[in-house]
Amino acid sequence: MAATKVLIVEDEQSITTPVKDKLEQCGFEVDSCIDGIDGYETARRNRYDAIVMDIKLPQMDGIEITKRLRQDGIETPIIMCTANGTLDGKLIGFEAGADDYLPKPFYPTELAARIGALIRRNNMNDDGLVHIGDLSYDEETKTISCKGDDMTLSDNEHGIFMELARAYRAPSKENKVVKKHDLLERVWHDRDIIDENNVEAYVSFLRKKLRFFDSDVEIKTVRGIGYQLVVHES
């Protein structure tokens, strides 16, 4: 299964540490930043499934970071966390582009649940499926459908497909390519017993399934880097 990546932008270590520990216990892969500029640049350079954002931060506040990310076309779900739980405070966060709002203090367990709900919502259309080109994908059943036919993906195929799907929706061209070593870490986790030949093998399996569908979606190899999804206009 692909690891779910979360970025925490919070300057108080007393908050970051227990939250990071809890999220990692829940299976999330977590990065953290302690100031606004680093948080903004990290969110721009990397793909995340969700961002946990404090409002009061050194150098650049969470409202400004959120505004800039949305202006950059980055649609990653953002949860605002702040001691200011007033209605006006919440409205300012939502107007900046936040997707959820959690007043401090909060239970890390609740934050983990909210992140999971936001990610599921973000990955799905109104029908609960992931749509790319002529493909529809049900994460729950790992079933990929196209032109009236369907097929079930293995756990590793599912992990690779979801990483490629997340990258496909990335606004910047460079973030649409998923590196082989990133797939190793996010799908298999243990690089000591798995190598890049396994990635190539499972990408080949996925390609065969897309060809079976005669889909307009292709897994393209970016030489020396990795893979990306490409949709050909029919």
Q: Between 224 and 39, name the one with better pLDDT.
A: 39
Give the pLDDT score at 43. Answer: 93
Is residue 225 pLDDT above 80, yes or no? yes
Q: State which of 67, 90, 123 marks the end of a domain.
A: 123
| CB within 8 Å of 229: residues ≥ 6 apart | 132, 164, 165, 167, 168, 176, 217, 218, 219, 220
Q: Is 226 in contact with 180 (CB distance < 8 Å)?
A: yes
Is residue 37 pLDDT above 50, yes or no? yes
Indicate if 10 and 67 belong to the same structural domain.
Answer: yes
pLDDT category of residue 63 using cuts at 50, 70 and 90? very high
Indicate if 146 and 68 belong to the same structural domain.
Answer: no
Indicate if 38 and 88 belong to the same structural domain.
Answer: yes
Tokens at residue 181, please? 């070593």
Kindly state the percentage of the chain with pLDDT values over 70.
88
pLDDT category of residue 212 using cuts at 50, 70 and 90? very high
Q: What is the mean pLDDT of residues 46-56?
A: 90
**Secondary structure element (H or E) that encloses residue 80, with its range:** strand 78-82
Number of domains in the chain: 2
What's the farthest any 2 CA atoms get from each other in the chain? 54
Q: State which of 67, 102, 123 marks the end of a domain.
A: 123
Read off the pLDDT of residues 111-126 as tens digits, 9 standing for 90 and up. 888 888 887 776 655 5
Bin 142: left if φ > 0, else alpha if -120 < ψ < 50, else beta.
left
Indicate if 110 and 10 belong to the same structural domain.
Answer: yes
Q: What is the CATH number of the domain that holds 23?
A: 3.40.50.2300
Instruction: Report helix, strand or coil for 147.
Output: coil
Show the domain range for 61.
Answer: 4-123
Indicate if 30 and 10 belong to the same structural domain.
Answer: yes
Is residue 197 pLDDT above 50, yes or no? yes
Indicate if 110 and 32 belong to the same structural domain.
Answer: yes
For Cα atoms 198, 204, 210, give the angle at the middle one, nearest 5 degrees: 140
Q: State which of 123, 145, 173 marks the end of a domain.
A: 123
Is residue 75 pLDDT above 70, yes or no? yes
Indicate if 109 and 144 belong to the same structural domain.
Answer: no
For residues 83 and 85, give the distance between their C-alpha atoms in angstroms, rounded to a whole number.
6
Indicate if 27 and 81 belong to the same structural domain.
Answer: yes
